[in-house]
Amino acid sequence: MATESPTVSVVVATNRGGPFLAEALASVVAQTEPAHELVVVDDGSPDPGALRAIVDAVPAPPGLPVRVVRTAPAGVSAARNRGVAETGGDLLAFLDDDDRWHPQRLRRHVEAMAARPDAVASYCAMRTIDPAGAELVAADQWAAADRCDVVRGPGVMLPNLVVRRDAFDAVGGFDPAYRQGEDLDLVLSLAARGPFVFVDEVLVDYRHHATNTTRSYRDLAAGVRTILRAHRARAVAEGAVPLVAAYDERLRANDRFAWWSAARAARAALQERRVGVALGDASWAVRFAPTAPVTARRRPAAR
């Protein structure tokens, strides 16, 4: 007797309509493996009518419920948790309002997780695109062999992640205390519960543009450090020596990310002849990670 494929609920949390939301939602509708449902959480957007108009214009096929849930502004973690609570699929996929999926995205993840019932999550290859949709950075994710590999950072982020609902519930979902790096906290918590399976195919486009929240590199680096240190402390308490070493490696990678980001910001400021701003960026990097090597010419490690 054939086993039924797991169903996928899609959650989009947003506090804006934005120029990319329609394209993001259209990429869900275009999936060759239809989603079980699509829930858009309006996290207190200033113009809910405009946001709803974008959602209503999505040509959803019969059998794909599309709903908007409006909440008071509480942050993306709380909004995503609310979205999950409104859904009932076996698997959970989260889409940011400026990213997009390739048509085979859900099908490949469903196949991978049906084949690996022990996996708590799956992730795919993901490239970075510009506002017009042209590729900026090719995909560089790799398969994690174990929990230590997940900690080291094989390129697992929320945009390229699909999670089993029972695992998501078991770890308590997203921690609303984190405003930056909340997806990293979720990934590390999930990794403690079981293996991840890698879908070695580019299925997600992560869009880089002027209003990305992750462009606030100081907050991001600080948030990631806080999360890594919290999980490292648990590994120390468990006496998991290899895991502690993996966390130390990831912390050093975050320091390099901080230096690289500060150098990039300083160069941009100098090009605009804002010398004081450039000095501020450099000074912050020295204070944040005084022993980290300056790697301004290297790409940062994936967070």
Please state which CATH class domain 8-213 belongs to. Answer: alpha beta
Q: Is 109 left (phi over 0), alpha (psi -120 to 50) or beta?
A: alpha
Q: What are phi and psi of 74, to 5 degrees?
A: -135, 0
| 240 class by beta-carbon count within 10 Å (0-12 exposed, 13-18 middle, 19+ buried) | middle
pTM for the structure as a whole: 0.91
Using alpha carbons, select from 51, 88, 56 the residue that is nearest to residue 71.
51
Going residue by residue through the chain (303 aa), what tens digit of pLDDT does each one get? 445 789 999 999 999 888 899 999 999 999 999 999 999 999 999 999 999 999 999 998 889 999 999 999 999 999 999 999 999 999 999 999 999 999 999 999 999 999 999 999 999 999 999 999 999 999 999 999 999 999 999 999 999 999 999 999 999 999 999 988 999 999 999 999 999 999 999 999 999 887 665 558 999 999 999 999 999 999 999 999 999 999 999 999 999 999 999 999 999 999 999 999 999 999 999 999 998 864 434 444 444
Q: Which residue is listed with tokens 């940062």?
A: 300
How far is 260 from 266, CA to CA, in rounded Å? 10
Which DSSP string do the residues of the chain spell out, in sequence order? -PPPPPPEEEEEEES--TTTHHHHHHHHHT-SS--SEEEEEEES-S-HHHHHHHHHTS-PPTT--EEEEEE----HHHHHHHHHHT---SEEEE--TT-EE-TTHHHHHHHHHHH-TT-SEEEEEEEEE-TTS-EEE--------SHHHHHH-SS--GGGEEEEHHHHHHTTS--TT-SSSHHHHHHHHHHTTS-EEEEEEEEEEEEP-TT-GGG-HHHHHHHHHHHHHHHHHHHHHHT-HHHHHHHHHHHHHHHHHHHHHHHHHHHHHHHTT-HHHHHHHHHHHHHH-TTS---TTSPPPP-
Domain definitions of the chain by residue range? 8-213, 216-288
What per-residue confidence (pLDDT) applies to 302? 41
